[in-house]
Homo-oligomer: A and B are copies of this chain.
Amino acid sequence: MPEQPVTVAVSTVIFGLREHDGEQALHLPLVQRVREPHLGRWALPGGPLRADESLRDAARRNLADTTGLNPAHLEQLYTFGAVDRGAADRVVSVVYWALVRTEEAALTRDDPHVAWYPAHALPPLAFDHEEIVGWAVKRLKAKLEYTHLSHALLPDEFTLGQLREVHEAILGRRLDPANFRRRVEATGTVAPTGAHQAGVRHRPPALYRSTAREELLT
């Protein structure tokens, strides 16, 4: 062997909404490592890139393999390639991040090595994965403000109150319901279905559907 080869791996930070302390909170599924290094630690789902698949396909495949999830949004985050990142050989990691809808996030894989954790209460992670999650959260927050990504965390039909809760969970602060409503309506990316959500102990909120098609950026 003439030279030490560089291998390419793909990992994914997956975001979904789940209940935590009575409120919707951002969660992510982690997998427990079954071999060294960092055996037993929790880590981002990932694996080596195969020669016959694109980076994006690799991310999607191994997201499905390890967690059984199907993302509503998938986007490249960053590529990490410092010489020593804690692994044995030289690995360049291409990291993607994904959003899954609440129905998906509710699915629990029948696998003791996969578990959802709140984004703000993670266990110690393998490698430099904590830093990576930090970047992903930062990017998600930033993109919330100028895209319609939040729709990808909700079911097909949702109320503006639910949409607001998503934003509040991610941004970590309360938003004025009146102003939030106007801002969203002004973008023209949601349309009322005409139906209303019944069974709530207050005025029945209108249901909306996302009209935003796939993004522009990165």
**B-contacting residues of A (Cβ < 8 Å)?**
3-8, 49, 51-55, 76, 78-83, 90, 92, 94, 218
A83 adjacent to B53 (CB under 8 Å): yes
Q: Answer whether A92 and B92 are a contact pair too, CB < 8 Å, given A6-B51, A8-B8, A81-B54.
A: yes
Give CA–CA (A78, B4) in the complex, Å: 25
Given A8-B6, A78-B218, A218-B78, also A90-B51 (CB < 8 A):
yes
Across the interface, do A3 and B218 meet the contact criterion of CB distance under 8 Å? no
Chain B residues within an 8 Å CB radius of A90: 51
Nearest CB of chain B from residue A146's CB, rounded to whole Å: 10
Whether B3 lies near A51 (C-beta < 8 A) is: yes
Say yes or no: A83 contacts B52, CB within 8 Å: yes
Q: Which residue of chain B has its CB nearest to the CB of A80?
A: B55
Min CB distance A54 to B, Å, is 5
Which residue of B8, B78, B80 is within 8 Å of A92 (Cβ)? Answer: B8
Q: Check B79–A79 contact: CB distance below 8 A.
A: yes
Q: How far is the CB of A158 from chain B (nearest CB, A)?
A: 29
Q: Tell which of B4, B52, B54, B79 touches A51, judged by Cβ atoms closer than 8 Å.
A: B4
Q: A55-B92, A92-B92, A92-B94 are contacts. A49–B79 as well, Cβ < 8 Å?
A: no
Closest to A79 in B: B79
Give the CA-CA distance A78 to B77 in the complex, in Å: 8
How far is B118's CA from A113's CA once the two chains are assembled, in angstroms?
A: 53
17 A–B contacts, CB within 8 A, in A order: A3-B51, A6-B7, A6-B51, A49-B92, A51-B90, A52-B83, A54-B81, A54-B82, A54-B83, A55-B79, A55-B80, A55-B81, A55-B92, A76-B79, A79-B94, A81-B94, A92-B92
